[in-house]
Structure 1
Amino acid sequence: MYQLKISRRRMTGGMLAVGAAAALAACGNRPGASSSAGNGATAWVLTGGPEQTFRDSFERWNTAHSDRQIATEWFANDAYKEKIRTAVGAGNAPTLLYNWAGGTLADYVANNQVIDLTESTTAAQERIVPSLLDPGKVDGKVYALPNNNAQPVMLYYSKPAFEAIGAQPPTTWDELLALVPEFTAAGYIPFAESGSSQWPYLMWIEYLTDRIGGAEPFAKIVAGEQDAWSDPAITGALEKIQELVRAGGFGDSYGSVDADSGADIALIHTGKAAMILQGSWVYANFLTDAPEFMSNGNLGYTDFPSVADGTGDLSNIVGNPANYWSVASNGSQEVQQIAIDYLNEELYNEDYIQALVTGGTIPAALEADDAIAASEHAEYLAYGYDMVKNAANFTQSWDQALPPAAAQELLTNLSQIFLLQLKPEQFVTNMNATL
Structure 2
Amino acid sequence: MKRGLILMATAVLVAGCGNSGQPAGSQQSQKPAKVTLEWWHLSTAEPLKSLWAQRAKDFEAAHPNVTIKATVLENDAYKAKLTTITQSGKAPDVFVTWGGGVLKQQIDAGLVKDVSGDVAPVLDTFTPAALSAYQFDGKTYGLPTDIGLVGFWYNKQLFAKAGISAPPATWAEFLDDVKKLKASGVTPIALAGKEKWPGHYYWAYLAMRIAGLPALKQAGTDHDFTKPDFVAAGQQVKALADLQPFQKGFLGAGYGTPDGQAATVSNGKAAIELMGQWAPAVQKDAGKGLGADLGFFPFPAVEGGKGSTGDAFGGGNGLSVGADAPPEAVEFVKFMTQMDQHTKAVEAGGVLPVLKGEESAVKDANLKQVATLLAGASGYQLYLDQAYPPAVGQQVNDSVAELIAGTKTAEQVGQDISEVAKSE
Is the 1:99–1:324 contact (alpha carbons within 8 Å) kept by the matching residues of 2? yes
Please tell me the root mean square deviation across aligned C-alpha atoms, in Å. Answer: 3.1
- Higher mean Cα deviation, 95-104 or 105-114? 95-104
Q: 1:273 to 1:342 in 2, by over 3 A?
A: closer
Is the 2:163–2:180 contact (alpha carbons within 8 Å) kept by the matching residues of 1? no
Is the 1:124–1:343 contact (alpha carbons within 8 Å) kept by the matching residues of 2? no
Distance, in Å, in 1 between the alignment partners of 2:190 and 2:55 is 38
Q: Secondary structure at the match of 2:188?
A: strand
Which residue in 2 is equivalent to 1:393? 379
Which residue in 2 is equivalent to 1:414? 400
Alignment of 1:18-417 (within 5 A): 38=33, 40=35, 42-46=37-41, 48-49=44-45, 50-64=48-62, 69-77=65-73, 93-146=91-144, 148-167=145-164, 168-223=166-221, 225-227=222-224, 229-250=225-246, 254-261=250-257, 262-291=259-288, 294-295=290-291, 297-319=292-314, 321-331=315-325, 335-336=326-327, 338-344=328-334, 346-358=336-348, 360-373=350-363, 378-417=364-403
Q: 1:204 to 1:348 in 2, by over 3 A?
A: farther
Deviation at residue 429 of structure 1 after TM alignment: 1.2
Is the 2:40–2:92 contact (alpha carbons within 8 Å) kept by the matching residues of 1? no
Is the 1:91–1:330 contact (alpha carbons within 8 Å) kept by the matching residues of 2? no
Q: 1:263 to 1:45 in 2, by over 3 A?
A: closer
Distance, in Å, in 2 between the alignment partners of 1:412 and 1:109 is 25
Q: 1:196 to 1:140 in 2, by over 3 A?
A: same
Deviation at residue 304 of structure 1 after TM alignment: 0.9
Q: Secondary structure at the match of 1:395?
A: strand
Work out which of the residue numbers 404, 410, 413 in structure 2 matches 1:427: 413
1:216-257 deviation line (CA, Å, top 9, x unaligned): 23323444x242x12433222111111122234437754344
**Structure 2 length-normalised TM:** 0.79
- How many residues of Structure 1 are paired with residues of Structure 2 in the alignment? 384
Distance, in Å, in 2 between the alignment partners of 1:256 and 1:151 is 27
Q: Secondary structure at the match of 2:296?
A: strand
**Structure 2: which amino acid aligns with 1:216?**
P
Q: 1:286 to 1:59 in 2, by over 3 A?
A: closer
**Structure 2: which amino acid aligns with 1:76?**
V
**Structure 1: which amino acid aligns with 2:295?**
G
1:341-383 deviation line (CA, Å, top 9, x unaligned): 554565131232113432533243332223224xxxx213322
Residue identity (%)? 24
Q: Secondary structure at the match of 1:325?
A: strand
Distance, in Å, in 2 between the alignment partners of 1:63 and 1:290 is 35
Is the 1:123–1:344 contact (alpha carbons within 8 Å) kept by the matching residues of 2? no
Q: Secondary structure at the match of 1:126?
A: helix
Higher RCO (CA < 8 A, seq sep 6+): 1
Q: Which has the larger radius of gyration?
A: 2
- Higher mean Cα deviation, 397-406 or 302-311? 397-406
**Structure 1: which amino acid aligns with 2:347?**
V
**Structure 2 unaligned runs (5+)?**
1-30
